[in-house]
Each structure stands twice: as C-alpha cells, then as structure tokens.
C-alpha cells in the first residue's frame, strides 16, 4: 500500500520481477493498482543447487499467479518447503491457504494461527538462511527478513520499491514505524544490507539511501501535519480529512483513504506527545 510522493530513484512501469540476486527470484503478481504499484512481489528464495525453497508472500487469492510461483520453483528443480508472510494484508497473504494446498508447505507469520515467527528467529531452508527482523508500524504484524548471503533485506510493505508506505492506523502505529526505520537504517549502515527486496515495486539497489529518504519523508510529512492542524484543521469537524485535503492535495484521490490512515496515525502520534 502506498501514498505520498515517489522516491527519487524509482523507475515507474519497468519492474517485471525475475531473478535479482543469486538466491532471490521475484514472481510478480498481475494485480497492479495505485495501492499495489506494479503488483505484489512474491519472492522465491533458493540456495544455489538446493531442492527446497522458501516463498515469501504468495500474494492475493489469484490461482494463475499461485500456480506460476509453484511452476517457477519446479523449473529450478526444487519444491516449496516453507511459506512466510511479511504481514496479513490481503494482497500478500490472502492466497496463503490455497498456496499451502498446492505445495503442502506450512505457512509461517506472526500469529493468526500460523506457525509463529518472532524477532531474531533464524529460518533455514535447503541451506539458505533468513533472519527475522520485527518491523512493526505499517501493521503491528509486519516482519522483514535479512538474507545475509546476498546482503539483502526483504521488507514487505515496510519499505517499498517506489513511493512511500502507509501507516495503517489503528493497527499500524507511527512511533513503531519510526523505530523500525531506525532499525533498518542500522542494518544498512554497516554494509550488512545493501539492497532491499520490497513487497511492491522494483528492487532497491541502494538500501541506505532509500531508508534515509523514508526517514526524511516521514519527518517532513509529520511537520506538514503539525502545521495543518495548527492552521485550523484541528478545529475542523473531521480533522483527519481536513489534513488530508491540505497535506495530500498533490496525490491522486484514489489513495486518499490510505493517506487518511497515515494522517490518523500521525495525529495520534502528535497528540500523545503534546501532553
């Protein structure tokens, strides 16, 4: 889910998925929209030569796409051994049950009846190692996954390949989101993570620059929201809508409902710090 202005480095309309690192293949789901960018990125992670793969985010309940993911894994001489969800939004997770039927593989995520995953867990599949990094904020259940062998971080909707994400209030929370960005910045700072494999949009080759952009953008938006409230939106019958109309005047109206979620999260964040 996205809103706000695009990141300076992202190329629109040129992302089709494919093999992007030694171990990561993206099968792009054909569900493009203003909220999903080019569509949902389903990630197939496979150690070279291994016969067991892990799939991150099977995507929506889209039979052709789910079958394409199974076929892509089979074409590499492997089978899906585990499926992992970055978070519970339908465009990432709705197809998980059907995908489990197709593959026989267990689904792992935070809660919701799935075999649980938590911060610091290490997932090993076919010799491939993934480290779980809890990154709540977009949603309370958002996880990222470090793939140390490829210096990559899979971020779901926490950091996207283009534009910026939504803090999906009330489940999503701005203070948590800012902490998660700080955490990702720390991972990119030491050179451990150099690229981001996002849940939507193209691979981000300069992780550090993208996270810096995200942090700058959030600080700027927060200041704009603070200003709009001070300029009168706080007294409007619907302060959140009044802020959206001022601060998000430049984004397409179809993403205003998502922008309203982010604004509500920002208003709550400012209120919690004003007394």
Q: Which residues here bind Zn ion, judged by CB under 5 A?
A: 1, 89, 157
Residue 78 in contact with residue 23, Cβ under 8 Å? no
Minimum Å gap between C-beta 41 and Zn ion is: 12
Tokens in use for 264? 């509500």
- Residue 107 vs 208, nearer CB to Zn ion: 107
- Residue 158 vs 246, nearer CB to Zn ion: 158
Please name the residue ranges forming H helices in the chain.
63-75, 90-93, 96-103, 174-189, 207-230, 239-247, 256-272
Name residues whose C-beta falls within 8 Å of residue 36's C-beta, 6 or more positions apart in sequence.
1, 91, 200
Minimum Å gap between C-beta 247 and Zn ion is: 21
Minimum Å gap between C-beta 153 and Zn ion is: 16
Residue 127's region, left for phi above 0, alpha for psi from -120 to 50, else beta, is: left
Minimum Å gap between C-beta 200 and Zn ion is: 9
- Residue 81 vs 184, nearer CB to Zn ion: 184
Minimum Å gap between C-beta 94 and Zn ion is: 11
Minimum Å gap between C-beta 157 and Zn ion is: 4
234 φ, ψ (degrees, to nearest 5): -60, -30
- Residue 47 vs 171, nearer CB to Zn ion: 171
By CB neighbour count within 10 A (0-12 exposed, 13-18 middle, 19+ buried), where does 149 fall? middle
Minimum Å gap between C-beta 43 and Zn ion is: 15
Q: What is the dihedral of CA 194, 199, 203, 207, to 10 degrees?
A: -30
Q: Which of 53, 57, 56, 3 is nearest to 31 (CA)?
A: 57
Q: What is the DSSP letter of 108?
A: E
Distance CA 214, CA 234 (A): 26
Residue nearest to Zn ion (CB): 89
Q: Which of 138, 133, 107, 136 is nearest to 120 (CA)?
A: 133
Residue 131's region, left for phi above 0, alpha for psi from -120 to 50, else beta, is: beta
- Residue 4 vs 157, nearer CB to Zn ion: 157
57: number of Cβ within 10 Å: 29
Minimum Å gap between C-beta 87 and Zn ion is: 6
- Residue 43 vs 208, nearer CB to Zn ion: 43
- Residue 56 vs 128, nearer CB to Zn ion: 56
- Residue 128 vs 132, nearer CB to Zn ion: 132
């Amino acid at each position: 889910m996205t809103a706000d202005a695009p990141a300076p480095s992202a190329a629109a309309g040129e992302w089709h998925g494919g093999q992007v690192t030694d171990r990561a293949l993206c099968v792009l789901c054909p569900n493009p929209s203003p909220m999903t960018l080019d569509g949902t990125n389903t990630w197939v992670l496979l150690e070279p030569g291994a016969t067991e793969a892990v799939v991150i985010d099977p995507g929506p309940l889209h039979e052709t796409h789910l079958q394409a993911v199974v076929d892509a894994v089979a074409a590499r001489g492997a089978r899906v051994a585990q499926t992992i969800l970055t978070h519970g939004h339908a465009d990432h997770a709705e197809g998980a049950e059907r995908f489990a039927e197709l593959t026989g593989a267990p689904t792992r995520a935070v809660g919701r009846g799935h075999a649980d995953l938590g911060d610091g867990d290490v997932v090993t599949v076919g010799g491939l190692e993934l480290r779980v990094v809890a990154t709540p904020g977009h949603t309370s259940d958002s996880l990222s996954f470090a793939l140390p062998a490829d210096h990559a971080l899979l971020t779901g909707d926490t950091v996207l390949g283009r534009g910026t994400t939504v803090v999906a209030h009330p489940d999503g929370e701005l203070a948590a989101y800012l902490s998660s960005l700080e955490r990702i910045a720390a991972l990119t700072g030491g050179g451990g993570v150099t690229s981001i494999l996002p849940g939507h949009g193209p691979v981000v080759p300069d992780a550090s620059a993208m996270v810096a952009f995200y942090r700058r953008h959030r600080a700027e938006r927060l200041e704009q929201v603070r200003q709009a409230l001070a300029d009168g939106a706080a007294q409007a019958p619907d302060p959140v809508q009044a802020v959206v109309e001022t601060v998000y005047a430049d984004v397409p109206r179809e993403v205003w409902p998502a922008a309203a979620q982010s604004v509500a999260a920002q208003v709550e964040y400012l209120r919690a710090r004003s007394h």
